[in-house]
Amino acid sequence: MAKILVVDDDQGMREFLEIMLSREGYRVTTACDAGKALGRCRKEKFDLIITDLKMPKMDGIGFLREIKDLSPETVVILITAYASGETAVTAMKEGAYDYIEKDFAIEDLKRIVSNALTGKEVKRDDALFLKEVGDAVRFGEMIGNSREMLKVYATINKVADTPANVLILGESGTGKELVAKAVHEYSSRRKMPFVVINCGGIPENLLESELFGYIKGAFTGAYSDKAGLFEIAHGGTVFLDEVADLPPLLQVKLLRVVQEKTFRRIGGAEDIRVDVRIISATNQKLADNVKTGKFREDLYYRLNVIPLHLPPLRERKDDIPILTKHFIEKYSREFGKEIKTISVYALELLMQYPFPGNIRELENIIERSIALESSNIILPENLVLTKDTEDNPEMTVAGLSLNEEMVKFEKRLIEMALEKAGGSKTKAAELLKISYDSLHYRIEKIGIRT
């Protein structure tokens, strides 16, 4: 049972919050000013503190600083009648979890308190979560049993069925959308829509209408009402992929959706209320974008309730054999081939390779290799590892140079076979003891003129 301290010089507000939060199952203590609250905090630990901003002697910001020095793990929410964006940012910089106006809706406060305590619980004991997840090789559509991925699975398992917003951070190709899908699928929203919005893939002039919809006559071409993606996702989950690419105007509008769960269609006068869980993802350092002013600080804190870092493939190399096996099975079926495995040396080359393109690059490499391979095993000469790896001398010798020489050798052999076959690809394939499709693929890949 979480312990909550309510600090407010208004007796009516203290009593209201005490009754409301007690009914939710929390153990609630109250204090009429910051001095008395600090005295209580020196005697016992609280999981969460809800404090008024405007109080005599010491205001909420000063009290927040004292609490963070005394008990850094305690979550603090500020309540005030004098709201402003600047004050909110100041509070969050000082370590506040969230900020709410005094005319708050009860359900909004309940949600914020629940999210805050959930986030605190997530950070408390990763070891316990790892034990719960166990030795899983698959989790949702994700594959891997490295310690790094087990931590990811554990976090998903813990936060999926909460309403907390999640921010997934990771390089391109690491599988951020698969993580978002897993959060949705393991939540109570699993039967409702999972809507993906690529914030960087939709032109800016179309993005607002895609997100929020429009009414008939709102602009030229708006011949009928159209529901936006947030409206379509009602009851489910919205996944904002590459959220760092959102233009400033839409950041403001998204903030309103996150805070108030309402928006308006373009040209509309009515507020539309939606119940959506927001999961965001980016391959950028969003905190740096906040510092440079490219991304709103208040929106960042609203989206980053549960941060989830997805490790690059080079930091989870134990998963490379499992992923390779999965992709071999996948593309052998697609290409109608009987390739079952990969040679020991070819796998060693993959284990040494830094994979700047992460899992997406590994999948592409295996797909190409299956297309090129004429035997029932993937051989080193059919691995195309294209990234320059000057920072890895061993890889430069063992991987990149080998492949460059193999491509040159392959090109010479194909050109000789085509010349001997009088330009006939069918005969050239027979001379090379490979299929016609494999020869055609190699010709296209290498760029041989025929």
Q: How far apart are CA 389 and CA 407, in angstroms?
A: 18
Based on the domain organization, do 89 and 169 belong to the same domain? no
**Is 154 part of a structural domain of the chain?**
no
**Is 135 part of a structural domain of the chain?**
no
The number of beta carbons lying within 10 Å of the beta carbon of residue 152 is: 24
Residue 132 has pLDDT above 80, yes or no: no
Based on the domain organization, do 58 and 107 belong to the same domain? yes
Mean pLDDT, range 130-134, rounded to an integer: 50
**Is 13 part of a structural domain of the chain?**
yes
Lowest mean pLDDT among 228-237, 308-317, 408-417: 408-417
Based on the domain organization, do 269 and 332 belong to the same domain? no
Domain boundary among 262, 289, 311: 311
Based on the domain organization, do 260 and 365 belong to the same domain? no
**Is 27 part of a structural domain of the chain?**
yes
pLDDT tens track for 192-234: 999 999 988 888 778 888 899 888 888 888 888 889 899 999 9
Contact 350, 320 (CB under 8 A): yes
Mean pLDDT, range 290-315, rounded to an integer: 92
Q: How far apart are CA 219 and CA 102, in angstroms?
A: 38
pLDDT tens track for 263-273: 999 988 889 99
**CATH number, domain containing residue 184:** 3.40.50.300
| N residues, the chain | 450
**CATH number, domain containing residue 111:** 3.40.50.2300
Q: Taking Cα atoms as reference points, which of 429, 404, 437 lies closest to residue 337?
A: 437
Based on the domain organization, do 195 and 277 belong to the same domain? yes
**CATH number, domain containing residue 348:** 1.10.8.60
Q: What is the 3-state secondary structure (H, E, C) of 182-242?
A: HHHHCCCCCCCCEEEEECCCCCHHHHHHHHHEECCCCCCCCCCCEECHHHHCCCCEEEEEC
The number of beta carbons lying within 10 Å of the beta carbon of residue 138 is: 12
| Token couple for 373 | 């391979």
Q: 398 falls in which pLDDT band (50, 70, 90)?
A: very low
Q: What is the pLDDT of residue 396?
A: 38
Q: What is the pLDDT of residue 323?
A: 94
Based on the domain organization, do 328 and 437 belong to the same domain? yes
Phi-psi region of 358 (alpha: psi -120 to 50; beta: other; left: phi over 0): left
* Predicted TM-score (pTM) of this structure: 0.61
Residue 2 has pLDDT above 60, yes or no: yes
**Is 188 part of a structural domain of the chain?**
yes
Determine how β-strand 194-198 pairs with β-strand 341-342: unpaired
Based on the domain organization, do 297 and 335 belong to the same domain? no
Q: How far apart are CA 204 and CA 195, in angstroms?
A: 19
Q: Strands of 258-321 (E only): list them.
A: 262-263, 272-273, 277-282, 306-309
Mean pLDDT, range 162-182, rounded to an integer: 92
Based on the domain organization, do 200 and 281 belong to the same domain? yes
Residue 235 has pLDDT above 60, yes or no: yes
**Is 143 part of a structural domain of the chain?**
no
Based on the domain organization, do 295 and 205 belong to the same domain? yes
Mean pLDDT, range 301-326, rounded to an integer: 92
Q: What is the pLDDT of residue 153?
A: 86
Lowest mean pLDDT among 102-116, 355-369, 375-389: 375-389
Q: How many domains does the chain have?
A: 3
Based on the domain organization, do 293 and 357 belong to the same domain? no
Based on the domain organization, do 173 and 295 belong to the same domain? yes
Q: What is the pLDDT of residue 120?
A: 55
What residues contact 215, with CB distance under 8 A and at least 6 apart? Answer: 222, 225, 265, 266, 267, 268
Contact 117, 2 (CB under 8 A): yes
Based on the domain organization, do 187 and 283 belong to the same domain? yes
The four Cα atoms 111, 109, 122, 184 give a dihedral, to 10 degrees, of 20
Determine how β-strand 237-241 pairs with β-strand 194-198: parallel
The number of beta carbons lying within 10 Å of the beta carbon of residue 450 is: 12
| Token couple for 26 | 């929390």
Mean pLDDT, range 424-431, rounded to an integer: 83
Q: Taking Cα atoms as reference points, which of 78, 80, 46 lies closest to residue 65?
A: 78
Q: Is 333 exposed, middle or buried (CB count within 10 Å of its CB: 0-12, 13-18, 19+)?
A: exposed
pLDDT tens track for 55-106: 888 888 889 989 988 888 888 988 876 555 456 556 766 778 777 777 788 8
**Is 132 part of a structural domain of the chain?**
no
Place of tokens 């809800």: 50
**Is 149 part of a structural domain of the chain?**
no
What residues contact 314, with CB distance under 8 A and at least 6 apart? Answer: 354, 355
Q: What is the pLDDT of residue 136?
A: 53
Q: What is the pLDDT of residue 299?
A: 93
Q: How far apart are CA 2 and CA 26, in angstroms?
A: 5
Domain boundary among 265, 280, 311: 311
Domain that holds residue 54: 3-117
Q: How far apart are CA 357 and CA 386, in angstroms?
A: 10
Q: What is the pLDDT of residue 127?
A: 45
Q: What is the pLDDT of residue 57?
A: 84
CA angle 151, 154, 156 (to 5 degrees): 110
Mean pLDDT, range 154-173, rounded to an integer: 87
Contact 369, 378 (CB under 8 A): yes
What residues contact 61, with CB distance under 8 A and at least 6 apart? Answer: 53, 78, 90, 91, 94
Domain boundary among 275, 296, 311: 311
